[in-house]
Amino acid sequence: MKKVMVVFGTRPEAIKMAPLIRLLKLDSDFETTVCVTAQHREMLDQVLDLFSIIPDYDLDLMTDGQDLAKLSAHILIQLTPVYMEVSPDLVLVHGDTTTTLMASLAAFYCGIEVGHVEAGLRTGNLKSPWPEEANRRLVSTLTSLHFAPTDLAKKNLMLEGVEETKIFVTGNTVVDSLFLAIGEIESNSSIRIALEAKFSMLSENRKIVLITGHRRESFGDGFLQICDAIKQLANQFDDVDFVFPVHLNPYVKSLVHSRLGDMDNILLMEPLEYLPFVYLMSRSELILTDSGGIQEEAPSLGKPVLVMRETTERPEAIEAGTVLLTGANKIRIVKSVSTLLTNTDIYSKMSRAHNPYGDGKSSGRIVSVIGAK
């Protein structure tokens, strides 16, 4: 029996690893252990509850005002004895968080192989996104099994010298999670009724623009421009609701509420659990975001995505026509949103574009690779 430990710390990691954990737990060929660092405590717990994931180890490392250096040191120090106790054959990490990097480094120090889910994403700019671009590059040097979501991600890894035999194109597990969530909403009438009641303030007759934002590289002028763009759009389109689940980061929360809290058609709310967020995505006309995962999920729902960043490690979506980059730039954000809200031909072209990130079977492909090694 192969011993696999899955390590993650944030809500996006949990969402993307949940379907993989589910399949590993169902397979008798694996002894699967789950460890969370709880880099994001409250937002992580929502996803653990939804997917019925009970961690075997919970490091509970989130503290107020913790900088990246302290968080990194704490993960490395506290995770190492867990590895020594469990002695896994393989550690699975995801993406590009601080947990991802330090879990990989701790595994390397302990002589344990690393499998990197969502490997090979690159912007080519170490400062955007920061620190994620550096994290993902560093993790690749410590990884034995690279699970790339697309052929382009595989190409990025090969250009950096990774052996082709160690790279496996699987699609993105976030599409697996999305399909699980949509299936739950559609098949469970009590869940659907509860979600409709939760968002009863939203009229069926009004379009919805869904907004998320939290990237550190936008802090300062970038976030000011984002807020000013949303305010201008809300004034310009008073028949549209702009729904903004505000990230818990103190800077983001304070700025957004101070700049946008006085508009009738801007609805600011606490961060949403995964099922309500998927429900809102399904009801939205379009999505304005700086998130990575939403670029992969929304196309499967036929929702155009405007990305408030200058670069993206997911250029496949731009090529496919499902995503458009606006940067954290007021003029470009206003122009792009206005176009999609008023031009049905452009909207239809984006909403019908094919999702390049998967078919909902990525987790199964990853499990098959691990089992064959």
3-class DSSP state of 239: coil
* Separation CA 146–CA 131 (nearest Å): 20
Span 110-160, pLDDT tens digits: 999 999 999 999 999 998 888 999 999 999 999 999 999 999 999 999 999
Residue tagged active-site, from 40, 94, 96, 273: 96
Same domain, 140 and 210: no
Residue 95, by phi and psi: left (phi above 0), alpha (psi -120 to 50) or beta?
A: left
Same domain, 15 and 79: yes
CATH number of the domain residue 86 falls in: 3.40.50.2000
Residue tagged active-site, from 216, 283, 309, 314: 216
Residue tagged active-site, from 116, 214, 283, 314: 214
Same domain, 302 and 335: yes
Instruction: Order across the sheet with 266-269: list the strands.
Output: 266-269, 240-245, 207-211, 286-289, 305-307, 323-325
Per-residue pLDDT at 288: 96
Same domain, 122 and 157: yes
Same domain, 215 and 270: yes
47 within some domain: yes
Q: How confident is the model at residue 67 (pLDDT cuts 50, 70, 90)?
A: confident
Q: Is the pLDDT of residue 65 over 80?
A: no
Per-residue pLDDT at 64: 74
Same domain, 160 and 202: no
| 151 a catalytic residue | no
Per-residue pLDDT at 46: 85
Q: Facing residues of 241 across strands?
A: 208
| 96 a catalytic residue | yes
Span 112-124, pLDDT tens digits: 999 999 999 999 9
Q: Which domain holds residue 283?
A: 198-351
pTM for this entry: 0.88
3-class DSSP state of 49: helix
Percent of the chain with pLDDT over 90: 81
Q: Is the pLDDT of residue 63 over 90?
A: no
Per-residue pLDDT at 39: 75
Same domain, 165 and 108: yes
* Separation CA 4–CA 336 (nearest Å): 45
Q: Is the pLDDT of residue 41 over 80?
A: no
Residue tagged active-site, from 118, 241, 273, 297: 118
Same domain, 112 and 252: no
Same domain, 282 and 344: yes
Percent of residues in the chain assigned helix, strand, coil, to nearest 5: 50, 15, 35
Can you read off the two tokens belonging to residue 354? 């094919």
| 196 a catalytic residue | no
Same domain, 74 and 102: yes
| 354 a catalytic residue | no
DSSP-derived pairing of the beta strands 30-36 and 57-58:
parallel
The stretch 192-201 carries a mean pLDDT of: 95
Q: Is the pLDDT of residue 43 over 80?
A: no
Same domain, 10 and 150: yes
Residue tagged active-site, from 74, 136, 247, 314: 247
3-class DSSP state of 281: helix
Per-residue pLDDT at 88: 98
| Mean pLDDT, the chain, integer | 94
180 within some domain: no
Please say whether the beta carbons of 301 and 285 come within 8 A.
no
* Separation CA 360–CA 350 (nearest Å): 21
Domain count, the chain: 2
The stretch 177-201 carries a mean pLDDT of: 95
The stretch 15-41 carries a mean pLDDT of: 94
Q: Is the pLDDT of residue 189 over 80?
A: yes
The more confidently predicted of residues 272 and 220 is 272
Q: Is the pLDDT of residue 310 over 90?
A: no
3-class DSSP state of 2: strand
| 247 a catalytic residue | yes
Please say whether the beta carbons of 110 and 80 come within 8 A.
yes
Same domain, 240 and 345: yes
The more confidently predicted of residues 220 and 197 is 197
Strands (E), 213-368: 240-245, 266-269, 286-289, 305-307, 323-325
CB crowding 298-319: b at 16 or more within 10 Å, else e = bbbbebbbbbbbbbbbbbbbbe
| Nearest Cα to Cα of residue 118 among 245, 10, 3, 43 | 10
Percent of the chain with pLDDT over 70: 100
The stretch 77-100 carries a mean pLDDT of: 97
